[in-house]
Chains A and B, each alone.
Chain A
Amino acid sequence: MELLSSVAEGFSALLSLENLLILFLATLVGLLGGVIPGVSGPMMVVVFLPITYAFEPTQAFILLTVIYAASVYGGMVTAILFRAPGTPESSMTVLDGYAMAQKGQAGRALGVGILASGTGAIIATLAMILLTPPLAALAMNFSSAEFFAIALLGLSIVASLSSGQVSKGIFGVGFGMLLATIGNDPMTATQRMTFDVADLGAGLELIPVMIGLFAIPEVLRRSRLDTKIKFNTAYGKVEVWSRRNLRSVGPTMGRSGVIGTGIGILPGAGAVTAAILGYTQAVRFSRDKSQFGKGDPRGVAGPESANNAGAVGSLVPLFALGIPGSATTAILIGAFILHGFQPGPNLMTTQSTFVYTIFAAILVANILALIFAKPLIRVLINVLNIPYALLGPAIVIFCIIGSYSLRNSVFDVWVMLLFGIIGYILMKYNFPVGTIVLGFVLGPIAESSFRRALMMSGGDVTVFFTRPISLTIILIAVAILVYPLLKPLALQVLKPKASTGLDA
């Protein structure tokens, strides 16, 4: 009953002209961000974050979370039409989506993609509304030791953000944590690594660092390429709500939506993993597997439903525990802190209308995307043919003004440029830059909780291991972190034994 009244409060708070306008624009912007290759979800959130400085917090987070959710939605368009996933989450959609396009069924593939994306996201949003409050209630009894353990759990998701380069990911987390310590020590106000530079006294701001790492490197990379390439934008009739679609992909998208939600909620899994599992489960549950990879609509519905569900599902640990499930949710945590909120269990109790308004906004945005994606596709695809030479300067200007307007400081613009150069170099070495943001955002939370817990226990370090919840979370974090490092070793050890067995 309480849940229903909170949801109703959220919807009534959403129903103002301003909020609905922001929601509609955010849906459009997110879809656009997903469609344009090279303009990722994190980049759109980072670029639009400065605009929210002057917004009410509710409106700011309607804009940012809806952009995030809608960008995953839009990623499938170029995956299907041009074999170029607009977002990493859409990489599995390429397999059957592009094959369908090659067979002249691009319109149907887009229709199936729209239907599955919307269904998956709506399933996950409903799960988020149901599951976040009890999870947050459980976390309400946590002390500093548990919060340190949760921050550690958040940092352990580094493996999923590392695209297979776990060691570099761990390096990135360390680098992010180190950068976050520049400036005043939170407990003693001692200056750390400022080297007498007055502008470093208050530390490095997260926004210029994020803008530099996510947005500038892509502009630098694209500036070297041919910006006049025209896309072939013919795709035929888009078929969304047809009986044929509902019958052929209905069960797949329902199942993948549930799987994607579960994967998204798990810290460390993320929407990319959800898409892979969504695809493999679509294959596993099919009687006729022969058409997968050759243009089977279920091969589009499975990953699209799962990746959208995974993206929304990853917001559950963010709201309930304050830990991110992906690079974009790490950026969202930064945005929360910037607006004076600390995501986590306290937010659910002290700002419940605010949280439920965001939930309502995500639900409505997904319904809007489901309804309007078909007519919008033509507009979105035409945007692909705007030369990057015109988009690039606009992105750079937004990055500069976004960095400047945070503290009205030109120093922050220099910081953005420096991290843009660092980000470009790291991109060349396939470095997972999302891990730096993870360390930068969670490092200070982990440090404060760690030192506060030690102060309260009189310096006794066993406080983290004698409390059962803290110990359990720390063990889970260690397992998540160590598993990808030990897996290759374990495989190496087991391999010779297996072959010996076969030889015998």
Chain B
Amino acid sequence: MKLTLSGRRVSIEPLVWLGIGVAAFAAVFAGVPSSTATALQTPRFWPAAAAIIMIIAGLIISLSALRHRQQPAPEAGGQPFSSAQESHELDSEVLRKHNHLLLIVIIAGYVAVLPYLGYVVATLVMAWVLAWTIGVRKVLSATLASITYVALTTVIFGVLMNVPLPRGRGPFVDISAFFF
């Protein structure tokens, strides 16, 4: 997260943590009613303490970023295969830059229609679309995989574990009733 400030690129990431901490503190005061109990025993004390921990940690992050701004970036050392290094290496293989956003939209769309279409139909469609989006390019493979996943999860959760999976509305209730 970088901003151009007076011709210099400045990272605002450290400030974001502090901002989230302050917002959390505000949310505690807005969302927890005050009480007449002793300060340490009020319902507000513990969430406020958590928000203060976030603010202090945010401050430390911001101050240490400010201190290191003039210093050259430290060499990658210490642990031989840090997660940052690994993540960087893997990200160099990125093929579909915005695919994660597409996935989020697909899952969000699925959750939105789940109560209407029911588990079987909605999951069948989502599994197929997800497989295609992530990289399956054979219609038969994507179809067989989605049918297998839906069948397995319906049997395990809907039949064996008696989880009341969403049955949908209107004609979809009959389709769901056919399976569980």
* Interface residues of A, Cβ cutoff 8 Å to B: 50-51, 53-54, 84-85, 88, 91-92, 94-95, 163-164, 167-168, 170-171, 173-175, 177-178, 181, 185, 187-188, 190-195, 219-229, 276, 387-390, 392-394, 396-398, 400-401, 404-405, 408, 410, 413-414, 417, 420-421, 424, 427, 429-430, 439, 443, 447, 450-451, 454-455, 459, 461, 485
How many interface contacts (CB-CB < 8 Å) are there between A and B? 217
Interfacial chain A residues near B156, Cβ < 8 Å: 51
Tell me which of B24, B38, B114 contacts A413 (CB under 8 A): B114
Size of the chain B interface, CB-CB below 8 angstroms: 83
- Residue B177 at the chain A interface, CB threshold 8 Å: no
- Residue B3 at the chain A interface, CB threshold 8 Å: no
Are B153 and A192 in contact, CB atoms less than 8 angstroms apart? no
Tell me which of B38, B149, B166 contacts A393 (CB under 8 A): B149
User: What is the bound-complex CA distance between A492 and B160, given in angstroms?
Assistant: 61
Interfacial chain A residues near B79, Cβ < 8 Å: 91, 163-164, 276
Are A192 and B131 in contact, CB atoms less than 8 angstroms apart? no
Interfacial chain A residues near B52, Cβ < 8 Å: 174
Interfacial chain A residues near B50, Cβ < 8 Å: 174-175, 177-178, 181, 439, 443
User: What is the bound-complex CA distance between A129 and B153, given in angstroms?
Assistant: 37
Are B135 and A421 in contact, CB atoms less than 8 angstroms apart? no
Q: Could you write out 23 A-B pairs with CB less than 8 Å apart?
A: A164-B78, A167-B61, A167-B64, A168-B17, A170-B60, A171-B21, A171-B57, A171-B61, A175-B20, A177-B50, A178-B51, A181-B47, A192-B44, A193-B47, A223-B99, A224-B94, A226-B93, A396-B126, A400-B107, A400-B123, A410-B111, A459-B41, A461-B40
Interfacial chain B residues near A225, Cβ < 8 Å: 90, 93-95
Interfacial chain B residues near A94, Cβ < 8 Å: 80-81
0/1 interface trace, chain B 1-40, chain A, CB 8 Å (1 if under):
0000000000001000100110010011001110101101
5 cross-chain pairs, A with B, having the tightest CB-CB distances, nearest first: A174-B53, A193-B31, A171-B57, A389-B135, A177-B50
Are A224 and B60 in contact, CB atoms less than 8 angstroms apart? no
- In the complex formed, the residue of A with least CB distance to B161 is A54
- Residue B136 at the chain A interface, CB threshold 8 Å: yes
Are B80 and A95 in contact, CB atoms less than 8 angstroms apart? yes
Are A219 and B103 in contact, CB atoms less than 8 angstroms apart? yes
Residue picked from A163, A174, A188, A194, most chain B C-beta under 10 Å? A174
Interfacial chain A residues near B165, Cβ < 8 Å: 401, 404
Tell me which of B40, B115, B131 contacts A410 (CB under 8 A): B115
- Residue B163 at the chain A interface, CB threshold 8 Å: yes
CB distance from A400 to the nearest CB of B (A): 8
Interfacial chain B residues near A170, Cβ < 8 Å: 53, 56-57, 60
Are A387 and B83 in contact, CB atoms less than 8 angstroms apart? no
User: What is the bound-complex CA distance between A461 and B40, given in angstroms?
Assistant: 9
User: What is the bound-complex CA distance between A175 and B99, given in angstroms?
Assistant: 28
User: What is the bound-complex CA distance between A397 and B44, given in angstroms?
Assistant: 38
- Residue B134 at the chain A interface, CB threshold 8 Å: yes
Are B46 and A447 in contact, CB atoms less than 8 angstroms apart? yes
Interfacial chain A residues near B127, Cβ < 8 Å: 393-394, 396-397
Interfacial chain A residues near B81, Cβ < 8 Å: 85, 91, 94
Tell me which of B84, B86, B136 contacts A390 (CB under 8 A): B136
User: What is the bound-complex CA distance between A85 and B47, given in angstroms?
Assistant: 38
Are A390 and B157 in contact, CB atoms less than 8 angstroms apart? no
0/1 interface trace, chain B 87-106, chain A, CB 8 Å (1 if under):
10011011111111011100
CB distance from A311 to the nearest CB of B (A): 18
Residue picked from A88, A387, A390, A417, most chain B C-beta under 10 Å? A390
